[in-house]
Amino acid sequence: MNGIKQLILVSLTLLSAPFFAQPRGAVYLNEKKTIEERVEDALSRMTLEEKVAMCHAQSKFSSPGVSRLGIPEVWTSDGPHGIRAEVFWDEWNNAGWTNDSCIAFPALTCLAATWNPEMAELYGQSIGEEARYRNKSVLLGPGVNIYRTPLNGRNFEYMGEDPYLSSTMVVPYIQGVQKNGVAACVKHFALNNQEIDRDNINVNVSDRALYEIYLPAFKAAIQKGGAWAIMGSYNKYKGEHCCHNQFLLNDILRKEWGFDGVVISDWGGVHDTKQAIYNGLDMEFGSWTNGMNWGTSNAYDNYYLAQPFLKLIQSGEVKEEEVNKKVRNILRLIFRTVMDKNRPLGSFGTEEHALAGRKIAEEGIVLLQNNRNVLPIDLTKVKKITVIGENAVKRMTIGGGSSSLKVKYEQSPLEGIKKRVGQNIKVTYVQGYESPAVVEQDVKGAKAPEKKVIDVERLKKEAISAARDADVVLFFGGLNKNENQDSEGADRKEYGLPYGQDELISALAKVNPNLVVVLLTGNAVAMPWVKEVPAIVEGWYSGTEAGNAIASVLVGDVNPSGKLPFTIPVSLKDNGAIALGEYPGNGKEQTYNEGIFVGYRWTDKQKIKPLFSFGHGLSYTSFVYGKVEIDKNILSPMSNLNVSIKIKNTGRRAGSEIVQLYISDLKSSLPRPVKELKGFKKVYLNAGEEQVVSFTIDKEALQFFDDRKHEWIAEPGKFEALIGASSTDIRGKVSFELK
């Protein structure tokens, strides 16, 4: 027995040798020094060639360390919804490992729809454990680009249209990830709000809109979340690509915000050696690729920050201090992650993580409409359920660009429903519509499937026939991860549902009054049939446990409590970016003519009634809001005031309500939105229970960015605090004054 113990100890020692049994003088062993002292110690031992090598990739997802000094490589992984499968060293294709099947977590639109920072922390902690187990140094996420238009193909990866909501949700996500000794790399910095022409479009935006709308979530990620890494975006700003942009990376990120982490390029986002040297970039990845599926093989020595960088230093044209600045940031990242001896071990593909994802999904699913209380389904009164729609069985964890995952399993909605209702209720499935088959992403040798003629009318007739005699019809539609749906690299071409779904839904509504439409999307969609359908649910892309989460909400095991993180307009002309005619630009330039008026700020300003409002979401119970109370009516610049309201659950079942605080500036020297979100709380109440919800208002909540002075201003004057269940469902308000 003792011999076995000795063998185990020897084996553990050998396995940990790359990190713990470093060569004499290795920087890892200087544990009594501060991180900054260790950084300078390591830097002083490195050759120029070793320093330059650390500034660029050596494979698709890694950059070199210095084995001579015991400094490990940096390994990154795509996120933010799961840990990407291992790929070949110099290819995008999966490497064929048998132990890298991950848990897929809900897309970030679903997380944002929970309006619950506790869910963001659970998400970050869980995905961070998965990344740590796979020994990743950097998780390439989360994404916090603002939802400017419903057509952006990558909106599903982000946290909605509002800077305050995104800022609040991103902080615990980052903290959860980094507890595991894995750096969260917040992306894409900045103004990456469309996929069309993303590599070369130059974004023209006012400083005011930049600071008020597009930067706050990044600032919160850095200053409150303590993110250790940030990724530049593909597009240009002020004529410079954002991966080496003086104004964004040096002036704002480093000088204004005090960022001390690593700036990583998006894959293929670097275009110039000298700009990369001087304009704030630290690590270059993926040059001469599109970031997804093609590239120049083994080009790493020719990267902009590789041999061209080295030669400029050797010739004296560039000072060595320029590479030292970058390597300091990289070493700081390494000491915070893989060279932290207290780094936990993590876990991977566990039931615990799957259930965490399910909980997040259940809290994020939004009940948009529920006329005649069709939901929840009363299983004691139902004998036959007809499930219609390709999305009831289609895998949503594959495809979509860099968010594509190799998952341990994915529970489909059809499987989840069958499992939940049991064998006493007949569940039939009819496809109803079909999307074109596409090449399987990241699979070596994958061939394009043969083009197939889809018989739309036949599928429609079969669905209508099956729906006639069902007690309940569940239609699963929406978008998918095909190109021009919810997918990296291309925007959507239309606002309506693809593949003939709109016509099919209207036809189904005519033959069965108990129709429930469940949308699986990461984006808003047109709903021309909204008045014909009694119940509509936004189910999002909910990951590994999607089917179980959706089924639990449909039958009432879980009371829906999610609310929309973006506005759903009736039509595209109700969106500011599109109404003002600039989107998607002319291929070279794109001007944000709507300025600060994004999402509900635009519909409020124009007095447009949305299809479904920002912050909207129904429940299976009811909540009554009391009178808004305020502790004082005068706010000085050095004090705070408190606003409170009593919320009561007046229904027959427990549920959660998201109480939202908006601030309205009644008179300002510059145009301001009618109101802006400045607080929210999710409260759980049993039937009959009531609770007082309180918010603290400080000077910061009243500020706007004055681009004439380049500073945040809170002007004295009169304000209103509005409490609502959504941006258009205001239940009470109270006035106060800033002296």
- pLDDT (mean) for 110-120: 98
CA 481 and chain centroid, separation: 15
- What percent of the chain is predicted at pLDDT more than 90? 93
Does 161 score more than 60 pLDDT? yes
pLDDT in tens, 80-112: 899 999 999 999 999 999 999 999 999 999 999
Asked whether the beta carbons of 460 and 500 are under 8 A apart, the reply is yes
pLDDT at 638: 85
Spatial distance between the Cα atoms of 693 and 721, rounded to a whole number of angstroms: 14
What is the mean predicted confidence (pLDDT) over 579-606? 97
| Per-domain residue ranges of the chain | 1-71+229-336, 363-441+451-564, 623-738
Instruction: Let me know if domain 363-441+451-564 sits in CATH 3.40.50.1700.
Output: yes
Task: Please give the pLDDT value at position 637.
Answer: 83
- Is the pLDDT at 365 greater than 90, yes or no? yes
What is the pLDDT at residue 31? 61
Half-sphere exposure of 304 (CA within 13 A, CB side): 23
For CA atoms 452, 456, 459, 461, give the dihedral sign: negative
Q: Please answer whether residues 159 and 522 qualify as being in contact, where contact means their C-beta atoms are separated by less than 8 angstroms.
A: no
User: Is the pLDDT assigned to residue 339 strictly greater than 80?
Assistant: yes
- Could you report the per-residue pLDDT of 561-573, keeping only the tens digit for each? 999 999 999 999 9
Is the pLDDT at 6 greater than 80, yes or no?
A: no
pLDDT over 70 for what percent of the chain?
96
Report CA-CA distances (Å) from 133 to 83, 112, 130: 10, 26, 5
Q: β-strands 426-430, 384-388: how paired? A: parallel
Q: How many residues does the chain have?
A: 739
Mean per-residue pLDDT, 391-408: 96
Q: What is the pLDDT of residue 347?
A: 98
Q: Which of 162, 266, 486, 665 is catalytic?
A: 266
Q: At residue 129, does pLDDT exceed 50?
A: yes
Q: What pLDDT was estimated at residue 434?
A: 98
What lies within 8 Å, CB to CB, of 106 at 6+ separation is 81, 123, 357, 360, 361, 364, 540, 541, 542, 543, 546
Beta-carbon contacts of residue 244 (< 8 Å; ≥ 6 apart): 232, 265, 270, 271, 272, 275, 276, 278, 279, 280, 281
Q: Is the pLDDT of residue 2 over 80?
A: no
Token pair for residue 83?
A: 């840990």
Please tell me which residue, 571 or 17, carries the higher pLDDT value. 571
- Would you tell me how many other CB atoms lie within 10 Å of the CB of residue 609? 10
| Per-residue pLDDT at 79 | 81
Angle of CA points 160, 166, 167, to nearest 5°: 165
- With a cut of 60, say whether residue 9 has pLDDT above it: no
Residues 498-544 have pLDDT tens digits of 999 999 999 999 999 999 999 999 999 999 999 999 999 999 999 99
The verdict on whether 266 is a catalytic residue reads yes
Residue 13: the pLDDT is 32
What are the pLDDT digits (tens) for 630-652?
Answer: 999 999 888 999 999 999 999 99
| Residue 30: per-residue pLDDT | 55
Whether residue 598 is predicted with pLDDT greater than 70 in this model: the reply is: yes
Q: Are 67 and 45 in contact (CB under 8 A)?
A: no
633: left (phi over 0), alpha (psi -120 to 50) or beta: alpha
Segment 4-20 shows an average pLDDT of 35
Orientation angle between helical segments 307-314 and 320-336, nearest 10 degrees: 130
Query: How far apart (Å, rounded) are the C-alpha atoms in residues 389 and 550?
Result: 15
Q: Which residue has the higher pLDDT, 318 or 28?
A: 318
Average pLDDT of every residue of the chain? 95
Q: Out of 9-23, 65-79, 643-657, which region has the weakest mean confidence (pLDDT)?
A: 9-23
Contact present, 513 and 507 (Cβ < 8 Å): no
β-pairing, 62-63 with 74-78? Answer: antiparallel
The topology (CATH level 3) of 623-738 is Immunoglobulin-like (2.60.40)
Report d(CA 247, CA 265) in Å as an integer. Answer: 16
- Mark residue 389 as left, alpha or beta (left: phi above 0; alpha: psi -120 to 50; beta: remaining): left
Q: What is the mean pLDDT of residues 704-729?
A: 97
- pLDDT of residue 1 exceeding 80: no
**H or E element at residue 621:** none
Q: Is the pLDDT score of 340 beyond 60?
A: yes
Helix (H, G, I), strand (E, B) or coil at 31: coil
φ/ψ of residue 125, rounded to 5 = -60, -45
Q: Which 8-state DSSP code applies to residue 23?
A: P
DSSP secondary structure string, 694-730? EEEE-GGGG-EEETTTTEEE--SEEEEEEEESSSS-E
For residues 519-552, one letter each, b for 16 or more C-beta atoms within 10 angstroms of the residue's C-beta and e for the rest, the string is: bbbbbbbbbebbebbbbbbbbbbbbbbbbbbbbb
pLDDT at 7: 36
The better pLDDT of the pair 30, 718 is held by: 718
Residue 278: which pLDDT band, with cuts at 50, 70 and 90? very high
- Copy the structure tokens of residue 386: 């007809």
Per-residue pLDDT at 10: 34
Residue 605 to residue 670: CA distance in whole angstroms: 14
The string of pLDDT tens digits covering residues 217-263 is 999 999 999 999 999 999 999 999 999 999 999 999 999 999 999 99
